[in-house]
A and B are shown apart, each in its own frame.
Chain A
Amino acid sequence: MKPGKEEFLEILKNYQGILHKVNLIYFRNKTDREDNFQEIVYQLWKSFPALKNRNSIGSWIYAVSINTSLMRLRNQSRIEFREELPDSIDTIDIMEELSINEQFKLLLQAICRLNEIDKSIMLLYLEEKSYADIGEILGLSSSNVGVRINRVKELLKQNFKNI
């Protein structure tokens, strides 16, 4: 195995949780999540040689994962805007895969009702990323991130009430 590949796989092994979490918020179907996981791994591998700042590996993985997922959603024509979502969201697939409790299911349902960009903001927030990191991943200023997080939190609260 090439030395670069070994290093890449080591990084991927340590940070793969990010890929799973991004998949969790964007895809409800297990097959879609597996396909997207594969696509993200490939896109990370392609952009790995261009990774200069090894201090921001997490941000790089988040950005590639979110961008890849957004593209895949479009290609599958499965964009679901908040207002178009049915009342009951199918999380059976996820529940089978993860032995999640009722509260986690509710949280996931509430996140699923957000639009695509708000989902990524909420994900990064729940992952306890700093405003600066969120800004770097999404391409926003830290102050803008703060405003958006408050707005998305409000939306999430509303979604909880509506479930």
Chain B
Amino acid sequence: METNELQNLWKKADQEINLKSAAELNQILATKIRKTMNKFLVILGTDVIVCVGLIVFLVITAFNRQGDILYQVNNLILGLITLTALLVSILSWKKIHDNKYNLSVKDWLEQRIKLLSGWLLGKYSKLYIAIIPILLVLINLSIHVYYEYKPFITVMKDGESIYGLIVGFAVGLVVSLYAMTKIRKYQINNLEYLKTLYSSLL
């Protein structure tokens, strides 16, 4: 088939396409905006509920253990990490959704690759390996010490408590690292896909 024939054939699709009215297009846009907003509110809501819930727990338990400085320091560090995590997750979400699609395909791919590479291979990309264990230790300690009804230092000297903490920590660590590895693997595949597309434009 000659090139002109192909172009003429392709033009025939124009007559077949069911074009939408302005009202229908407006409806499509309104539905999509509503869906996106709802998705954002669910993510933000879950984040806020979990983080605020944890912070309320930390404040109440710290208040009930006013004489236990070590316990309060533990809760304070945990509270600060939780607040930072909340802030980072909201900013990351915003960054993903601010992604500009109105660039040439090559520039858009470049921008996306840069963003993903920063997250997956950048300076702080492996920070989670340190943060997750620290968070797990702090959360375990906060909950365990509080429900043992004993001072922080006493619990730390109790062999049975230490054993329980180690088991809780190990289980939490395996689950968290497994989830993180899965997420990273998915994102690395994403990055590879984008790089493949980009290389075919070079």
Q: List residues of A whose CB falls within 8 A of some B CB.
A: 1, 5, 9-10, 12-13, 16-17, 20-21, 24, 37-39, 41-43, 45-47, 50-51, 60, 63-64, 66-68, 70-71, 74, 79, 97-101, 103-104, 107, 115-118, 120, 125-128, 136-140, 153, 156, 160
Contact A50 B100 (CB under 8 A): yes
Instruction: Count chain B CB atoms within 10 A of each CB in A70, A99, A128 and give the residue with the most.
Output: A70
Residues of B near A99 (CB, < 8 A) are 16
CA distance A24 to B31 in the complex (A): 22
Least CB distance, B29 to chain A, in whole angstroms:
5
CA distance A2 to B200 in the complex (A): 41
21 CB-based A-B contacts, threshold 8 Å: A1-B26, A9-B26, A13-B19, A13-B21, A38-B28, A47-B102, A63-B103, A63-B104, A63-B108, A64-B102, A67-B101, A71-B101, A71-B112, A98-B16, A100-B12, A103-B9, A126-B6, A128-B7, A138-B104, A138-B106, A140-B106
Residues of B near A125 (CB, < 8 A) are 7
Contact A51 B17 (CB under 8 A): no
CA distance A38 to B31 in the complex (A): 9
CA distance A122 to B201 in the complex (A): 14
**12 extra interface residue pairs, beta carbon distance < 8 Å, beyond A42-B29, A117-B197:** A17-B17, A24-B13, A38-B32, A43-B101, A46-B101, A47-B102, A79-B193, A100-B16, A103-B1, A103-B9, A117-B200, A126-B6
Question: Is B64 an interface residue, CB under 8 A from the partner?
Answer: no
Contact A63 B101 (CB under 8 A): yes
Residues of B near A5 (CB, < 8 A) are 26
Residues of B near A47 (CB, < 8 A) are 100-102
Least CB distance, A119 to chain B, in whole angstroms:
11
Contact B105 A117 (CB under 8 A): yes
Question: Is B36 an interface residue, CB under 8 A from the partner?
Answer: yes
With A38-B32, A107-B6, A139-B201 given, is the CB distance from A98 to B103 under 8 Å? no
Least CB distance, B175 to chain A, in whole angstroms:
24
Question: Is B148 an interface residue, CB under 8 A from the partner?
Answer: no
Interface size class of B (residues with CB under 8 A): 35 or more
Instruction: Count chain A CB atoms within 10 A of each CB in B6, B19, B31, B112 and give the residue with the most.
Output: B6
Residues of B near A139 (CB, < 8 A) are 103-107, 201
Interface positions, chain B 146-202, Cβ under 8 Å from A, are: 190, 193-194, 197, 200-201
Q: Binding site of A, secondary structure by majority: helix, strand, loop or mixed?
A: helix
Contact B7 A98 (CB under 8 A): no
Contact B22 A116 (CB under 8 A): no
Contact A74 B193 (CB under 8 A): yes
Least CB distance, B110 to chain A, in whole angstroms:
8
Least CB distance, A6 to chain B, in whole angstroms:
8
Question: Is B66 an interface residue, CB under 8 A from the partner?
Answer: no
CA distance A61 to B20 in the complex (A): 16
CA distance A115 to B201 in the complex (A): 12
Question: Is B121 an interface residue, CB under 8 A from the partner?
Answer: no
Chain A residue, CB-CB nearest to B3:
A153
Least CB distance, A3 to chain B, in whole angstroms:
14
Contact A41 B13 (CB under 8 A): no
Residues of A near B193 (CB, < 8 A) are 74, 79
Residues of A near B32 (CB, < 8 A) are 38-39, 41-42
Contact B1 A137 (CB under 8 A): no
Question: Is B25 an interface residue, CB under 8 A from the partner?
Answer: yes
Contact A67 B22 (CB under 8 A): no
